[in-house]
């Protein structure tokens, strides 16, 4: 195996990457996280085998949707419930297992979406170590009233089944890779994964354009980027900005995402900007480069890649305390209680001071430099090597007892 004798850019490591939800090379899947990880692994020198989620057969789809309907999962979320149910999960797992066997020699497997397939079956299907990669546990999400599962009002019985699947998958995996210590603690305490098998590898981002003199503009210019207006706490940001503009009449707030129409002075809406549209991404680059601060005090944020994108542009950040990102940003962020509009306003007022904004922006940019996808790939490959060595030791020990 390529892991023998160490890992590096010339090690010839061959890694399969899969996501239960679709094509891992898609920039639209999980905010582009699987695609970013693949790009990072390839930049690090690994050969990547990207495995698409297998399509369910017609009989499987009908049976899965029938089960979802029978258990009371109605409306626009029935498809999600059906896709994560036992029938679809088993079919997906079998399809991925066949793909892994047919992929030839592998040195490692990275699995995303461990709540929607059975990782244990992938471990036994081939000899390479299998690592899961997550930004949180479903248990953490289910506890929080503003998480996606809560806001979507999934049936509690279904979510508890998904949590149980993720727990089994995490315990069966060779190792668990996570984005933050916040997530690591949950895998250990909620799921019982031994701490030595949990690896904090971080998350990467698409670096944005750094202006020549970061945050040097005379007028405060805030940027908000968030698809989910409710969970990202957009209304609270606009409310806080109203008070900021009373003190700084030339201040502006640019908003990107699925936002409502604005009639608020100084607030400019840009709508959704797709990750796979170069023109729209150039506009987003320009917004980062022309802003003086980034504000996203989400009600719940496991780990927002967008924080790192803003940090790479040298922007200081108003971040949320509800999740794992604030600790990574360090002095580059002011972490606030998303339910306290006064805290959001005071943080924004603080960043209206250009000296303070430049100081915090420099700290944010330093944090972003260590959070590229290539950095994540390096840490992930190191974690795989540890898992491979541990698995080999367990095999030798079992053989000796035999």
Mean pLDDT by 10 residues, the chain (402 residues): 47 92 93 95 97 66 42 56 88 96 96 96 96 97 94 93 97 97 97 98 90 64 96 97 97 97 95 92 95 96 93 96 88 96 98 95 94 96 94 65 59
Report residue 192: phi and psi, to 5°: 75, 20
Instruction: List, in sequence order, every beta strand (DSSP E) within 306-384.
Output: 317-320, 333-336
Global confidence as pTM: 0.87
pLDDT tens digits, one per residue of 170-209: 999 999 999 999 999 999 999 999 999 999 999 999 899 7
Cα Rg of the chain (Å, integer):
22
**What is the DSSP secondary structure assignment for residue 135, as one 8-state letter?**
S
- Over residues 72-95, the pLDDT tens digits come to 444 556 678 878 889 999 999 999
Strand boundaries in 6-71, DSSP class E: 14-19, 47-51
CA 16/CA 18 separation, integer angstroms: 7
- What is the length of the chain? 402
In CATH terms, the fold of domain 221-369 is: Rossmann fold (3.40.50)
Phi/psi class of residue 233: alpha, beta or left (left: φ > 0; alpha: ψ in -120 to 50)? Answer: left
Cα separation of 121 and 99, whole Å? 12
Topology adopted by domain 14-204+373-401 = Rossmann fold (3.40.50)
Matching fold, domains 14-204+373-401 and 221-369: yes
**Domains of the chain, residue spans:** 14-204+373-401, 221-369
Indicate the helix (H) or strand (E) that contains 225. Answer: strand 221-228
Mean per-residue pLDDT of the chain: 89
């Amino acid at each position: 195996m390529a892991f023998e004798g160490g890992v590096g850019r010339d090690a010839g490591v061959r890694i399969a990457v899969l996501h239960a939800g679709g094509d891992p090379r898609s920039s639209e899947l999980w905010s582009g996280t699987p695609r970013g990880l693949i790009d990072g692994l390839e930049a690090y020198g690994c050969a990547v085998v990207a495995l698409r989620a297998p399509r369910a057969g017609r009989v499987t789809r009908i049976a899965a949707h029938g089960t979802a309907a029978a258990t009371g999962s109605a409306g626009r979320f029935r498809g999600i419930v059906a896709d994560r149910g036992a029938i679809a999960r088993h079919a997906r797992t079998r399809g991925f297992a066949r793909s892994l066997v047919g992929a030839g020699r592998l040195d490692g497997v990275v699995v995303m979406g461990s709540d929607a397939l059975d990782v244990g079956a992938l471990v036994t299907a081939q000899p390479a170590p299998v690592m899961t990669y997550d930004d949180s546990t479903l248990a953490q999400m289910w506890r929080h009233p503003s998480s996606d599962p809560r806001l979507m009002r999934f049936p509690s019985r279904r979510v508890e089944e998904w949590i149980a699947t993720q727990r089994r998958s995490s315990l069966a995996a060779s190792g668990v890779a996570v984005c933050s210590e916040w997530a690591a603690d949950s895998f250990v305490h909620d799921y019982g994964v031994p701490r030595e098998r949990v690896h904090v590898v971080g998350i990467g981002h698409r670096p944005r354009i750094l202006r020549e003199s970061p945050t040097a503009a005379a007028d405060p210019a805030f940027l908000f980027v968030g698809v989910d207006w409710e969970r990202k706490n957009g209304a609270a940001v606009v409310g806080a900005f109203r008070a900021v503009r009373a003190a700084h009449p030339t201040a502006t707030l640019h908003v990107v995402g699925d936002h409502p129409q604005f009639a608020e002075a100084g607030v400019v809406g840009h709508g959704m900007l797709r990750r796979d549209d170069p023109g729209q991404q150039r506009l987003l680059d320009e917004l980062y480069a022309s802003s003086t601060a980034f504000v996203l005090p989400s009600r719940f944020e496991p780990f927002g890649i967008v924080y790192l994108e803003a940090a790479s542009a040298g922007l200081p950040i108003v971040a949320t305390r509800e999740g794992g990102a604030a600790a990574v940003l360090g002095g580059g962020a002011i972490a606030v209680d998303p339910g306290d509009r006064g805290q959001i306003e005071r943080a924004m007022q603080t960043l209206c001071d250009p000296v303070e904004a430049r100081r915090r922006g420099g700290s944010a940019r330093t944090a972003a430099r260590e959070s590229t996808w290539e950095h994540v790939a390096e840490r992930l490959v190191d974690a795989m090597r540890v898992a491979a060595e541990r698995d080999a030791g367990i095999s030798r020990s079992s053989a000796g007892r035999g």
